[in-house]
């Protein structure tokens, strides 16, 4: 009986000792990691960010509305017929430039005028302001009739066509009707200068100027195949010193060749 009591007491003492040992082990601080506390504090400071590069402007910012500093598209677009006519002028070797629209009142002007300075090697003096259609007609007549006639009669080429009037806002003299000059469809030729130095005045030649008379007659008659109106010396006093050519439209293709 005594032995049993002593064993129980010994077990209690061992249990108490174990509890005290466990409590003392829990009260200790856990081991801390080693930290460098010297001058180098980079590990503890906030991360250093690289500075942002400044943005470069690529120009004015465009928004939904148009920018008014840029050129606008032209309101008038050249018709296809006018563009085709200019290609024909280039094919014929015409030296020309486009001019701004001419408007002088209700019945004078040209929507798409050209200024002709030469036809092949033949100069136009001064440069003539015409419709493109009239310019092309003059070019065909010059190349196919005027130049060949000069070579046939004078064995020479043509250097210069001296014109007296192209576009001009005016009436037909003595009438209230507008001249074809007022719409750029007419050209008056005063003199024809040849490459051999001869200067042929269009005015009616003398009785014995057979070669000049034949040349001017040929030029005049051949013009009737190209123009709707051909007037010259002998028709009236107003045309005594020049040939008048125009392409006024007439009914049934009628021409006035006088």
Task: Look at residue 54 and tell me if it is in a domain.
Answer: no
- What's the CATH number where 162 sits? 3.30.1380
Task: Look at residue 217 and tell me if it is in a domain.
Answer: yes
Task: Look at residue 241 and tell me if it is in a domain.
Answer: yes
Domain boundaries, position 185? 83-257
| Mean per-residue pLDDT pooled into runs of 10, the chain (258 residues) | 50 55 48 41 44 45 44 70 98 98 92 98 98 98 97 97 96 85 97 96 81 91 95 88 93 80
Task: Look at residue 213 and tell me if it is in a domain.
Answer: yes
Cis peptide bond upstream of 60, omega within 30: no
Give the per-residue pLDDT at 36. 39
Total domain count, the chain: 1
Task: Look at residue 150 and tell me if it is in a domain.
Answer: yes
Distance CA 29, CA 31 (A): 6
Task: Look at residue 49 and tell me if it is in a domain.
Answer: no
Task: Look at residue 173 and tell me if it is in a domain.
Answer: yes
Task: Look at residue 61 and tell me if it is in a domain.
Answer: no
């Amino acid at each position: 009986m005594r032995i049993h009591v002593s064993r129980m007491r010994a077990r209690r003492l061992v249990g108490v000792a174990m509890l005290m040992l466990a409590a003392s082990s829990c009260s200790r601080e856990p081991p801390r990691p080693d930290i460098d506390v010297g001058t180098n504090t980079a590990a503890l400071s906030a991360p250093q960010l690289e500075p942002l590069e400044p943005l470069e402007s690529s120009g004015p910012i465009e928004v939904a509305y148009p920018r008014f500093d840029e050129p606008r598209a032209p309101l008038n677009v050249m018709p296809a017929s006018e563009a085709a006519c200019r290609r024909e002028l280039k094919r014929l070797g015409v030296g020309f430039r486009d001019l701004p629209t001419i408007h002088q009142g209700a019945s004078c002007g040209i929507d798409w005028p050209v200024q002709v300075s030469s036809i092949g090697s033949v100069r136009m003096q001064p440069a003539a302001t015409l419709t493109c259609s009239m310019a092309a007609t003059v070019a065909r007549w010059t190349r196919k009739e005027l130049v060949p006639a000069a070579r046939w009669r004078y064995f020479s080429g043509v250097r210069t066509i001296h014109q007296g009037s192209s576009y001009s806002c005016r009436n037909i003299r003595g009438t209230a009707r507008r001249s074809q000059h007022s719409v750029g469809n007419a050209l008056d030729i005063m003199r024809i200068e040849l490459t051999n130095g001869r200067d042929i005045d269009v005015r009616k030649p003398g009785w014995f100027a057979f070669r000049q008379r034949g040349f001017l007659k040929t030029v005049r008659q051949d013009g009737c195949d190209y123009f709707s109106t051909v007037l010259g010396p002998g028709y009236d006093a107003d045309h005594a010193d020049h040939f008048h050519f125009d392409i006024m439209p007439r009914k049934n293709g009628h021409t006035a060749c006088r």
